[in-house]
Amino acid sequence: MRKKVVYAVLGVFVLVAAGLMIARALQTSLVYFVLPSEYARDASSFDGRKIRLAGLVEPGSVQFDDSGLQLTFNVTDTYETYPVRYGGAPPDMFQENGGVVIEGAFHEGVFVGDNLLVKHSNDYHPPAEGEAVDVEALKESLR
């Protein structure tokens, strides 16, 4: 009987420790997937956090310095726009008005990406001139 109590106490202890460890690890490694306007609404809560910023490449904003391998462009959902810096070559299919997802964090107003993904979805059609962008549809297409 005493043995059982010891095992039970040990078991509870292990479970609680594991639970705390898991909760802490989850807290620090959740990566939010947001569009620029969502980021703008809640900027302080993402402070210093790694996020996945998704949007369209703003036309005319793309610059690639091939000697230093620095790619800069603006990512936009037409409501908000942020400058992005990525240390690497533009990936294949990277184009103006194309969908991208950048993983990284903001440093002094510039989003510094570690990873740049090009999303080419057939489901999303950019709105015609003067029409508003459907943010939810855009987000779904970049997922």
What size, in residues, is the chain?
A: 143
55 near 67, Cβ under 8 Å? no
Sole residue written with tokens 């029409």: 131
- Interface region with other proteins, contact rule CB under 8 A, candidates 22-30, 74-82, 105-113, 123-131: 22-30
Minimum distance of other proteins from residue 139's CB (angstroms): 7
Instruction: Provide the token pair at 123.
Output: 């489901």
Going by C-alpha positions, the residue among 77, 86, 94 that lies closest to residue 111 is 86
Instruction: Provide the token pair at 45.
Output: 């809560």
Going by C-alpha positions, the residue among 31, 36, 34, 87 that lies closest to residue 57 is 36
The reply on whether position 28 binds other proteins by CB under 8 A is yes
> Which residue lies nearer to other proteins by CB, 29 or 132?
29
The reply on whether position 43 binds other proteins by CB under 8 A is no
The reply on whether position 46 binds other proteins by CB under 8 A is no
Q: What are the distances in angstroms from CA 79 to CA 40, 54, 55, 110? A: 10, 13, 11, 17
Minimum distance of other proteins from residue 33's CB (angstroms): 4
What track of x and - describes contact with other proteins for positions 58 through 87 (by CB under 8 A)? Answer: --------xx-x-----------------x
The reply on whether position 12 binds other proteins by CB under 8 A is no
Interface with other proteins (CB under 8 A) = 3, 14, 18, 21-22, 24-26, 28-34, 50, 52, 66-67, 69, 87-89, 91-93, 120, 139, 143
